[in-house]
Structure 1
Amino acid sequence: MDRVILHCDLNCFYASVELLSHPDLREIPTAVCGDPHSRHGIILAKNEPAKKFGVQTAETIWQAKKKCPDLVLLPPHHDLYREYSRQVNAIYDQYTDLVEPFGIDESWLDVTNTLHLFGGDAHALADTLRERMKRELGLTLSVGVSFNKVFAKLGSDYKKPDATTVISRENWKDIVWPLPVGDLLYVGGAARKLLKQYGVETIGQLAACSPEMLETLMGKMGPQFHGYANGLDTDPVRSRYEAEPVKSVGNGTTFPENLTTRDQVLGGIAMLADSVATRLRHAGLYAGGIQVTVRDPQFHDRSRQRQLPVPTHLIRDLTDAAMELADQLWKPPSPIRALTVTAIHLVQEGEAYEQVDLFTASAAPKKVKQEKLEGAMDQIRKKYGSRAIIFGACQPEKEEDPLP
């Protein structure tokens, strides 16, 4: 028997929540944005009138204002969004215990075993959810209904706002295959550009490729995308109360001023590596690899990753490895707006080991000493707060003031 999966996507979520307190702005182009004074001045969400002017999520305020000079800007209220998200998922819980959030404003619902309790018609159930959201919370919802998670999400994106789209065994090729390949789940900008070089621009064209060719081009994601394009996704909907394996641990920040010297970049890398290492230790995890992303003032991102010689959760190890990648991605004095450090290829504490030979045996006592040192730092922070003690490398050297 086919599964029955719904993907529910709240339309313009941040903006919709804000407009509940500003009903006079519903027909006026309005956007929620970060604080421009702290250099987080990008569009987080926009309403439908703003969309008509071409305002896009994640573009800068000045770009949005260029398209729509009269755009009304509202500050975000993240606690409020989390509360509304909680209320929305509480409604979903009334229909199934398999509700998997996908961000704060989207969720998958597997109603395969409960649909008969609500009339047995998935399309009608989706419409019921949309009506309840409008009536009880004042929010609109787009719902995709299908036999797997990937197609259910395509359905919720297919018609917006406030719509239900059913992608069934009978119609899925007609609906899905003509869509741009970038509409497929997890096919990002880099994958889209790569596929375009080989003439693959629609999901149907991706479906017609051989899995072997795609694996050669894209690694293990290639065959996965091929399966998605052919309706072969079998990923289960996981209850949000079911712990999902952690695949990466990362931290990023936008700096108050652009970084232009190596000392500044090292300070930023070390600060982020400290945060990542601490979280790894708290979770009993080790990083088998490291990834660094550098963002310039024009919002162009460049990333690089590498395997680590041995799994680690030590600040110094992560800092050194991340700085090597940063040196490959960036040359001074090119300005850096933001940095992200991510631990990847994670392993559990019992699975991490280091093979010691004659050349590395002398380093073992230092590693043990560093483990004890950072463990002691964790205890101090736990008792006195996260800023009570800071790893020395996390403080960038102060630059000399220029001579007059």
Structure 2
Amino acid sequence: MDRVILHCDCNAFYASVETLLRPELEKVPMAVCGDPESRHGIILAKNERAKKFGVATAETIWQAKRKCPGLTLVPPHRGEYVKYSRLVNEIYQRYTDQVEPFGIDESWLDVTGSQNLFGTGPEIADEIRRTVREELGLTVSVGVSFNKAFAKLGSDYKKPDATTVISRENFRRIVWPLPVGALLYVGKAAQETLAQLQVRTIGQLAACDRALVAKRLGKMGEMIHDYANGLDMSPVRAADDAREIKSVGNGMTYRRNLVGLEDIRLAVLTLSDSVSARMRRHGVKCRTVQVLIRDPGFKSISRQRALPAPTHLGKEIAEAALSIIRDAWDLRAPIRMITITGASLTDAGGAGEQLSLFAPPDDESREKRERLEAAVDGIREKFGQDAIGPAGVLGNDIGIGGAGWNKDE
């Protein structure tokens, strides 16, 4: 028997929550946006009235205002989004305990075992939409299918406040004509690679030689080829299932461009401090440090480096990141954004950690550093994240400092 999977997607979630907070916004074209002064001036969400003017998520504010001069802009209220996300997922959990969030406004539900209680998949989908609308004032689009990939396609297929069923009988008619970028995990780079193979629709991907797609895109190519053919057996995980942490990262777009080693050093120190604190909180160390740099023209480079020994120390992560940047970047060139990530994680207890036979580490110095950074963790836990930080943060003009500079992103 086929599984019955739902994908529930809250429509224009940020904008809809803002309208609940300020009902008058329902009557005007409105968009939630970042702060232009801190260079986060992009559209995060828009309501249906703004959408009719062609306002698009992720475009700049000036582009949106050019399309819709009367556009009302509101700042994001992230705490409210988290609150409503929790409330929506609590409604989903009335119908099944297999609820897997996919971002703040989307979730998969496996309702295979719930049909004797609540009806068929489409009936459960319609009931969920009605309940969310009546209890929370939000609308949800739901895809119903026999796997997760097609269920997500279904929730995107018709909006707002709609149920779309994609079955074994109709998926070729509904799914295959869609652009290949509509398929889960097919991003811009994959679309460009597939276009070189004359693959532009999901049906063309399904018909393409699997080995050829794998040759160009690796294991991801095999996966999306299977998805296109309806061969997705990935389970819906319960909301309380433990998730394996594969990496810990933090990034920041700066108030002005970083130029020169001192700017870069301050940025790297604060990001590394945040990443290391989170790793200690999760009880992990990283074997690899990754750095992503984006310039003012939005061109990005990404580099990584293996470490001589696993670490969760901010000093060691910062040293590795600075070394990567020195080797990969012209220090005179401006930088708009930096992200630092600790990857290839291992348990902080020491499992899998090998000591060098030729250059034994300075254990005493490292132990002192670990005690120092653990003490900083304790101070922050007791007095707040802003209680202590690198001295260079004081008086800087790149946007680090003040409330929340060390906040996880």
Give the TM-score normalised by structure 2: 0.89
| Deviation of 1:276 (Å) | 0.5
Contact 1:14 1:76 in 2 (8 A): yes
| 3-state SS of paired residue (1:150) | helix
Matched, 1:262 2:228: no
List aligned pairs for 1:56-135, cutoff 5 A.
56-119=56-119, 121-135=120-134
| Deviation of 1:239 (Å) | 1.6
Residue identity opposite 1:260 in structure 2: V
Contact 1:39 1:254 in 2 (8 A): yes
Residue identity opposite 1:95 in structure 2: Y
Match of 1:283 in 2: 282
List aligned pairs for 1:10-89, cutoff 5 A.
10-89=10-89
| 3-state SS of paired residue (1:18) | helix
Provide Cα deviations, 1:233-263, integer angstroms capped at 9, x if missing partner: 2221112122211122111112222111122
Contact 1:267 1:396 in 2 (8 A): no
Residue identity opposite 1:261 in structure 2: G
Indicate how the Cα distance of structure 1 residues 51 and 325 shifts in structure 2: closer, same or farther if over 3 A, else same: farther
Tell me, in whole angstroms, the C-alpha distance in 2 between the residues paired with 1:221 and 1:210. 14
| 3-state SS of paired residue (1:305) | strand
Matched, 1:167 2:150: no
Tell me, in whole angstroms, the C-alpha distance in 2 between the residues paired with 1:287 and 1:311. 5
Match of 1:151 in 2: 150
Tell me, in whole angstroms, the C-alpha distance in 1 between the residues paired with 2:231 and 2:375. 49
| Deviation of 1:357 (Å) | 1.6
Tell me, in whole angstroms, the C-alpha distance in 2 between the residues paired with 1:396 and 1:300. 30
Specify every segment of 5 or more residues in structure 1 that has no aligned partner in the other structure, as ranges.
400-404
List aligned pairs for 1:226-375, cutoff 5 A.
226-327=225-326, 330-349=329-348, 350-358=350-358, 360-361=359-360, 363=362, 365-375=364-374
Indicate how the Cα distance of structure 1 residues 398 and 9 shifts in structure 2: closer, same or farther if over 3 A, else same: closer
Match of 2:403 in 1: none
Indicate how the Cα distance of structure 1 residues 71 and 242 shifts in structure 2: closer, same or farther if over 3 A, else same: same
| 3-state SS of paired residue (1:371) | helix
Contact 1:181 1:203 in 2 (8 A): yes
Tell me, in whole angstroms, the C-alpha distance in 2 between the residues paired with 1:370 and 1:201. 53
Tell me, in whole angstroms, the C-alpha distance in 2 between the residues paired with 1:169 and 1:156. 17
Contact 1:133 1:140 in 2 (8 A): yes
Give the TM-score normalised by structure 1: 0.90
| 3-state SS of paired residue (1:219) | helix
| Deviation of 1:132 (Å) | 2.0
Residue identity opposite 1:73 in structure 2: L
Provide Cα deviations, 1:338-380, integer angstroms capped at 9, x if missing partner: 221122222223433023122x125555444433443343334
Indicate how the Cα distance of structure 1 residues 42 and 8 shifts in structure 2: closer, same or farther if over 3 A, else same: same
| Deviation of 1:115 (Å) | 1.4
Indicate how the Cα distance of structure 1 residues 382 and 72 shifts in structure 2: closer, same or farther if over 3 A, else same: closer
| Deviation of 1:329 (Å) | 5.1
Higher deviation after alignment, 382-391 or 275-284: 382-391
Give 4+ residue runs of structure 1 displaced > 6 Å after superposition. 396-399
| Deviation of 1:93 (Å) | 1.3
Contact 1:266 1:396 in 2 (8 A): no
Tell me, in whole angstroms, the C-alpha distance in 2 between the residues paired with 1:262 and 1:371. 26
Tell me, in whole angstroms, the C-alpha distance in 2 between the residues paired with 1:100 and 1:398. 41
Residue identity opposite 1:134 in structure 2: R
Tell me, in whole angstroms, the C-alpha distance in 2 between the residues paired with 1:342 and 1:207. 35
Tell me, in whole angstroms, the C-alpha distance in 1 between the residues paired with 2:368 and 2:115. 58
Provide Cα deviations, 1:59-79, integer angstroms capped at 9, x if missing partner: 221121122111111122222
Provide Cα deviations, 1:306-351, integer angstroms capped at 9, x if missing partner: 4434332222222122223334553243322222112222222343
Tell me, in whole angstroms, the C-alpha distance in 1 between the residues paired with 2:111 and 2:26. 34
Higher deviation after alignment, 302-311 or 89-98: 302-311
Residue identity opposite 1:44 in structure 2: L
Tell me, in whole angstroms, the C-alpha distance in 2 between the residues paired with 1:161 and 1:131. 13
Match of 2:189 in 1: 190
Tell me, in whole angstroms, the C-alpha distance in 1 between the residues paired with 2:245 and 2:46. 31
Tell me, in whole angstroms, the C-alpha distance in 1 between the residues paired with 2:188 and 2:33. 23
Tell me, in whole angstroms, the C-alpha distance in 2 between the residues paired with 1:310 and 1:362. 9
**Number of residue pairs aligned between Structure 1 and Structure 2:** 396
Tell me, in whole angstroms, the C-alpha distance in 1 between the residues paired with 2:149 and 2:328. 34
Indicate how the Cα distance of structure 1 residues 344 and 180 shifts in structure 2: closer, same or farther if over 3 A, else same: farther
Indicate how the Cα distance of structure 1 residues 321 and 43 shifts in structure 2: closer, same or farther if over 3 A, else same: same
Tell me, in whole angstroms, the C-alpha distance in 2 between the residues paired with 1:398 and 1:139. 42
Q: Percent identity?
A: 56
Tell me, in whole angstroms, the C-alpha distance in 2 between the residues paired with 1:82 and 1:273. 26
Tell me, in whole angstroms, the C-alpha distance in 2 between the residues paired with 1:327 and 1:308. 16
Tell me, in whole angstroms, the C-alpha distance in 2 between the residues paired with 1:23 and 1:390. 41
Indicate how the Cα distance of structure 1 residues 321 and 216 shifts in structure 2: closer, same or farther if over 3 A, else same: farther
Indicate how the Cα distance of structure 1 residues 325 and 227 shifts in structure 2: closer, same or farther if over 3 A, else same: farther
| Deviation of 1:159 (Å) | 1.0
| 3-state SS of paired residue (1:288) | strand
Contact 1:264 1:397 in 2 (8 A): no
Tell me, in whole angstroms, the C-alpha distance in 2 between the residues paired with 1:324 and 1:208. 46
Higher deviation after alignment, 280-289 or 368-377: 368-377
| 3-state SS of paired residue (1:54) | coil
Residue identity opposite 2:63 in structure 1: Q
Provide Cα deviations, 1:269-323, integer angstroms capped at 9, x if missing partner: 1210111111111211121322222233344443333443433222222212222
Contact 1:264 1:396 in 2 (8 A): no
Specify every segment of 5 or more residues in structure 2 that has no aligned partner in the other structure, as ranges.
398-409
| Deviation of 1:187 (Å) | 1.8
Provide Cα deviations, 1:89-143, integer angstroms capped at 9, x if missing partner: 1211111111111111111111010111112x21122112222222222211110
Residue identity opposite 2:96 in structure 1: T
Contact 1:263 1:397 in 2 (8 A): no
Matched, 1:7 2:7: yes
